[in-house]
Structure 1
Amino acid sequence: MAHRLLLRRICTVGVKDVRGLSASTTRAASSCFSTAVQSAAPRVSFLSASRTLPRSLPHTSRRQVSFNVQDQEDFTERVINSQLPVLIDFHAQWCGPCQILGPRLEKAIAKQKGRVAMAKVDIDDHTDLAIEYGVSAVPTVIAMRGGDVVDQFVGIKDDDELDSFVSKVIGQ
């Protein structure tokens, strides 16, 4: 790219000053200009439709750390009937502490490498679930295993407390 710009500048200066120059200099300037056009041609052909761009590198499949609960049936299927322990994050979009806790909780669960799942329940969309599980404040995190509530906490926690909470839920 830098070479093309330099060549263009040289050729432009050469073409502008052709009036007062000899015939050999004029030929050199026109030769320079045609070389610049030819050197740009392969770049344009690279972007043409006849060439295909390289495929992206394959990536390893990764289990989803968390999922959003869609409805009561989805909750029953993915949380209550789950073989893994599940942490349920009851949150709201307007809740500042929820927005802080969510990524921290996902990070703590990701460290467990598939031994625990996380369900996210928006209390504004799923008020019935929040009432059923006695959620009176957000963020509330409830740990379930085999359809039974085994532990819970309300509010925000630091990373170490989250790691110990998740480890305790897995170890029970």
Structure 2
Amino acid sequence: MTTVNITAENFESEVANSDVPVIVDLWAPWCGPCKSLTPILEKLAEEFEGKVKVGKVNVDEQPELARSFKVQSIPMLVALDGVDVTDHQIGFRGEGAVRQMFEKAAGE
């Protein structure tokens, strides 16, 4: 599996204590741009495997977690190193912008 489903219950183990930076995708099943972003995230998750982890947070199922990221619009990507936010993007900006975020997170 290239992406991990992030919940309030596994946030600490999957994100806060991750050995590699984590890019968290805050999304919802009814969000069209979120659906467009998914194949790009899966492709980059595979490409950057071992360097960057990709976690997905369904904002409808995890409202507390969404609030902790101050989500106002989705899709929203947040890059984390431990619990420190290092980068974020709001909206669907295409593969180039997402790739830059992965490269920055991976230190490339």
TM-score by length of 1: 0.60
- The alpha carbon displacement at 1:78 in A equals 0.6
What per-residue deviation string (whole Å, max 9, x for no partner) do you get for residues 13-58 of structure 1? xxxxxxxxxxxxxxxxxxxxxxxxxxxxxxxxxxxxxxxxxxxxxx
Extract structure 1 runs of 4+ deviating beyond 6 A.
Answer: none
* SS of the residue 1:98 aligns to: helix
Supply the AA of the counterpart residue of 1:135. Answer: V
- Size of the aligned set, in residue pairs, is 108
Conserved? CA contact 1:65–1:114, under 8 Å: no
Aligned: 1:96 with 2:32: yes
- The alpha carbon displacement at 1:65 in A equals 1.5
* SS of the residue 2:51 aligns to: coil
Unaligned runs of 5+ residues in structure 1 are 1-63
Larger radius of gyration: 1
For the aligned residue pairs, the C-alpha RMSD in angstroms reads 1.3
Identity among equivalent positions (%) equals 34
- The alpha carbon displacement at 1:93 in A equals 0.5
TM-score by length of 2: 0.93
Unaligned runs of 5+ residues in structure 2 are none
- The alpha carbon displacement at 1:164 in A equals 1.5
* SS of the residue 1:136 aligns to: coil
Which residue pairs with 2:51 in the alignment? Answer: 115
* SS of the residue 2:10 aligns to: helix
> Which structure shows the bigger proportion of residues in strand conformation?
2
Which residue pairs with 1:14 in the alignment? Answer: none
Which residue pairs with 1:125 in the alignment? Answer: 61
> Which structure shows the bigger proportion of residues in helix conformation?
1
Conserved? CA contact 1:108–1:159, under 8 Å: no
Greater displacement, 125-134 / 103-112: 103-112
Which residue pairs with 1:68 in the alignment? Answer: 5
- The alpha carbon displacement at 1:109 in A equals 2.2
Which residue pairs with 2:81 in the alignment? Answer: 145
Q: Which has the higher contact order (CA 8 A, sep 6+)?
A: 2
